[in-house]
A and B are shown apart, each in its own frame.
Chain A
């Protein structure tokens, strides 16, 4: 079974631009979560989507948004990019059935803001 895939793997943008990252979950998984990883803050939760609805949200500004499609694929968008948004953005998918919600991570998208 194919793992979680993220595109693109690397991205360079300039301040003020916006960016859209994509995540395809493991087949059959219905939940997609997004995390940001920086050297200073470590791994931090952004938001989680399940059945096209945002189920949970971390403590990030409104510039960070996401959505999930009917096929469970998800996108996250960052508007008005700041230098501090440079990070590894990770997507994780889980089955989310009964008590089985082990999250499996993709390889990440490395975003650099200049």
Chain B
């Protein structure tokens, strides 16, 4: 089972920031928080990942709480093309036999004009 819980769906107005929460209260010390998104019927697209520090790249920002039990993915200026299912995954990159990604049901983000 996935180690993360996310809201089933969220709406966001175009041009506004989209803040997608994720709970991972049982995350282990070696597990990073990864975010992917999947636009309908396409392959998942990597967005960002982090361990304990906040991270930012050209797509998004990732804010991880100090206790690492939850995180928030921020899309600063959402566009209609950001409409997708967003997956938050707790993953240990050197986990050996546990190295596969475990996807939950994700959050369906709908960006509305």
Contact = CB atoms under 8 A, between A and B. Distances in A.
A106 B43 contact: yes
A63 B104 CA distance: 25
A43 B43 CA distance: 11
12 contacts: A43-B103, A48-B99, A88-B41, A90-B43, A92-B44, A92-B101, A101-B93, A102-B46, A103-B46, A105-B45, A106-B43, A108-B43
Contacts of B96: 55-56
A37 B105 CA distance: 11
Given A99-B93, A99-B94, A102-B34, A58 B43 contact: no
Interface residues of B, number: 22
Contact of A56 (B45, B49, B100, B103): B100
Interface string B77-90: 00000000001000
Interface residues of A, number: 25
A108 B94 CA distance: 25
Interface of A: 4, 33, 35, 42-45, 48, 55-56, 58, 88, 90, 92, 99-108, 110
Interface of B: 34, 36, 41-46, 49, 87, 93-94, 96-105
Contacts of A48: 99-100
A33 B100 contact: yes
Given A58-B100, A102-B93, A104-B46, 7 more contacts: A35-B103, A43-B87, A43-B103, A56-B96, A56-B99, A100-B93, A105-B36
